[in-house]
Chains A and B, each alone.
Chain A
């Protein structure tokens, strides 16, 4: 059964601006899926979340959550979803425990009833129960916020950029928590600006300018990359970037961690031309001729981030 159906949803905040959300197709998210939405600030992620969480009404199009219409049945939807907005939303002057108790009672529940659901997350917070939420670190705050949005055992969970401003280890822990939650059958929709996190989702939607440009499993998105990708490094990374871009057979070159990623033109066949064993060897030789030392060139698999960066060109 489909947990969420989004059909041509559209929302515009200002006549002069392009719409914040402009979905042009039908997207369905089955029950129990961990669905990721990746995209930068301004892609429309928050607006989409707010519409699905019944906080704003679409200009046109429809969507349903657990079979309920987001406009007509908004009251019912509110009893069965958990929502964690991007902006930190707990009460910083209340303690960790008081926050949790409050949000439980908002849903007419007590903490004990659903404690098993949050146990794995809350155990890290337990030593700080009496601390004011405002004095927690970014990662801890997000964990507490997650507990608060889970305490009523929702069937659908919406998390809007839960890992923004959170350090890498806390981010990984948070994703591990989401993985555990998924096994309980909960549908989870989560957005993030970090491409590396999206690999943990069942399916990923790449969002840009209010639209989903690609919706698929991370593996299928990556296998659909369809261009030849090389990773290159040398001792002078900045000069290397310009040198690579000046090569006629390079379609695109950009920094990527400790290597530069290079996308070759489809028709480039360097090995045949210059008599090298591979394109990589050919490029290495060209670069060494230009005075680069410590040159490493190798073929690499595309990552989600590579896919995202090359979305528009397709």
Chain B
């Protein structure tokens, strides 16, 4: 983390574009994510969310446009970005055949948490998740909801400036989903910025601001309440419907 450099925005993106051949997956998007907010990144399947996320997390280079994430340039410093962000996806969370503690050790090591701090951080995480008694169980034996909470905690074990959550709550019990969001709130309280994609529209309501992507472009970006007002809708789900109905692209 860069000392002293506490810019207002954790992500700044201008005219970001990604083309595959003659297909424009992400079409000239510009936006900022403010420090300490929960930013919901919404869009239909195939709208370009995944491609945009890949560029922001340093996994793929933009065709044109520029941007910074956590103070690092996405075109020239992707390796630095990877070190300063957290990432959690529903598809890959943790190694099921390793124990809870092994997984924490591993990811703390991968993200360069100083060796002398690893032990205490793991203990405080286990404490907070109330998983101390399960620390030597294999991750695959845990219930799905716990796994996801654990995966989230591990993704912020190195205290990144921003954490990217890619559909973190798919297929989870409604109660477990809420516990998960409380963890997100806690992380935000500690100053971590959260960038999240979800198909649950009630979760979109928890965000400070949300963006709606349609056909590779950001069609709307504002707080949930402002969006609902602007579109005369009673819920974010309705806003989503109004915007997605105009979509030409079905990838």
Residues of chain A whose beta carbon lies under 8 Å from any beta carbon of chain B: 40-42, 124, 128, 135-140, 161, 164-172, 193-196, 237-238, 241, 254-258, 305, 308-309
A157 to chain B, nearest CB (A): 22
Distance (Å) between the CB of A66 and the closest chain B CB? 30
Mask for B172-210, Cβ within 8 A of A = 1, else 0?
Answer: 111110100110011011000000000111100110000
CB distance from B168 to the nearest CB of A (A): 13
What B residues does A255 contact at CB under 8 A? Answer: 178, 181-182, 206
Contact B235 A135, beta carbon cutoff 8 Å: no
> Does B188 contact A170, Cβ atoms closer than 8 Å?
no
Partner of A238, one of B175, B185, B199, B245: B185
Give me 8 other A-B pairs in contact (C-beta within 8 A), A165-B167, A257-B201 excluded.
Answer: A140-B251, A169-B244, A172-B241, A193-B171, A238-B188, A255-B181, A255-B206, A258-B225
B44 at the interface (CB under 8 A from A): yes
Given contact pairs A42-B144, A137-B250, A167 touches B206 in the complex (Cβ within 8 A): no
> Which residue of chain B is the closest to A312 with respect to CB atoms?
B175
Contact of A257 among B144, B235, B245 (CB under 8 A): B235
- Contact A139:B189 (CB < 8 A) given known A42-B144, A168-B201: no
Given known A41-B144, A140-B250, contact A241–B205 (CB-CB < 8 A): no
Which B residues lie within 8 Å of A258 (CB)?
A: 205-206, 224-225, 235-236
Chain B residues whose C-beta falls within 8 Å of the C-beta of A164 in the assembled complex: 170-171
How many A-B residue contacts, CB cutoff 8 Å?
Answer: 101
A19 to chain B, nearest CB (A): 16
Contact residues in B for A254 (Cβ distance below 8 Å): 175, 178
Interface pairs (5), CB distance under 8 Å: A136-B250, A139-B250, A167-B45, A168-B201, A170-B44
Of B44, B186, B205, B236, which contacts A167 at CB under 8 A?
Answer: B44
How far is A170 from B43 in the complex, measured between Cα atoms in Å? 11
Bound Cα distance from A196 to B43, whole angstroms: 19
B205 close to A257 (CB less than 8 A): yes
- In the bound assembly, the distance between CA atoms of A262 and B250 in angstroms comes to 40
- Considering the complex, give the chain A residue whose CB is closest to the CB of B238: A168
A168 partner residues in chain B, CB cutoff 8 A: 44, 199, 201, 237, 240-241, 244
Selected contact of A137 from candidates B175, B199, B251, CB within 8 Å:
B251
Task: Please measure, in the bound complex, the distance between the C-alpha atom of A238 and the C-alpha atom of B183, giving whole angstroms.
Answer: 10
- Find out whether the CB atom of B43 lies under 8 angstroms from the CB atom of A167: yes
Instruction: Decide: A305 and B174 in contact? CB cutoff 8 A.
Output: yes
| Closest partner residue, chain A, to B206 (CB atom) | A255
Complex Cα spacing A24 to B45, Å: 39
Q: Which residues of B have CB within 8 Å of A241?
A: 182, 185
Query: B138 → chain A, closest Cβ, in Å?
Result: 14
Closest 8 CB pairs of A and B: A40-B173, A137-B46, A258-B205, A257-B205, A138-B45, A257-B202, A167-B44, A169-B244
Across-interface contacts of A124 in B (CB, < 8 A): 250
CB distance from A126 to the nearest CB of B (A): 12
Q: Which residues of A contact B4 (CB under 8 A)?
A: none
Q: How far is the CB of A167 from chain B (nearest CB, A)?
A: 4
Which residues, 34 to 79 on B, are CB-close (under 8 Å) to A?
A: 43-47
B224:A195 contact, CB within 8 angstroms: no
| Cβ-closest chain A residue relative to B188 | A238
B143 on the A face (CB < 8 A): yes
Chain B nearest Cβ from A20, distance in angstroms: 14
Q: How far is the CB of A128 from chain B (nearest CB, A)?
A: 7
CB distance from A139 to the nearest CB of B (A): 5
Cβ of A48 to closest chain B Cβ, rounded Å: 16
A164 CA to B170 CA in the complex, in Å?
8
In the bound complex, CA of A169 to CA of B213 (Å) = 13
Contact with A along B221-240 (1 / 0, CB 8 A): 00011000000000111001
CA A254 – CA B244 in complex, angstroms? 29
Chain A residues, Cβ within 8 Å of B46: 137-138
Assembly CA distance A137 to B244 (angstroms): 14
A170 to B143, CA, bound (A): 29
Q: How far is the CA of A297 from the CA of B82 in the complex (A)?
A: 43
Most buried by A among B173, B174, B200, B205: B174
| Cα–Cα, bound, A255→B251 (Å) | 34
Q: Are B172 and A169 in contact (CB under 8 A)?
A: no
A41 neighbours in B (Cβ, 8 Å): 144, 171-173
Among B176, B224, B225, B251, chain A packs the most CB atoms within 10 A around the CB of: B251
CB proximity of B185 to chain A, nearest CB, Å: 4
